[in-house]
Amino acid sequence: MPELPDIAAYITALETRVLGQKLERVRLGNPFLLRSVTPPLSMVEGRTVEELRRIGKRIAFGVEGDLWLVLHLMIAGRLHW
């Protein structure tokens, strides 16, 4: 499981890649892991990522329209791009 410095490093790397970019698609790999979907995930598609922040060991993506996607890296602690 990634520690706080790992999360901070991910956010730094993600800032150059996603801030100001439109989300083309959001894919949920395992629906079992989903906490809530209100509004539906499709609402963020086509919207711009405006902010990234750390919430504990989670990465939060602020999307235009005051929507948020929150990602927990779980045990493996990896993102692939």
pLDDT digits 0-9 by tens, 55-80: 999 999 999 999 999 998 888 777 77
CB 69 within 8 A of CB 63: yes
pTM: 0.87
Identify the DSSP state of 52.
Answer: E
Separation in Å, CA 54 to CA 13, 37, 40:
13, 20, 22
Q: pLDDT value at position 30? A: 77
Question: Could you give all domains of the chain from N- to C-terminal order, each with its CATH number?
Answer: 4-26+37-72 (3.20.190.10)
3-class secondary-structure state, position 69? strand
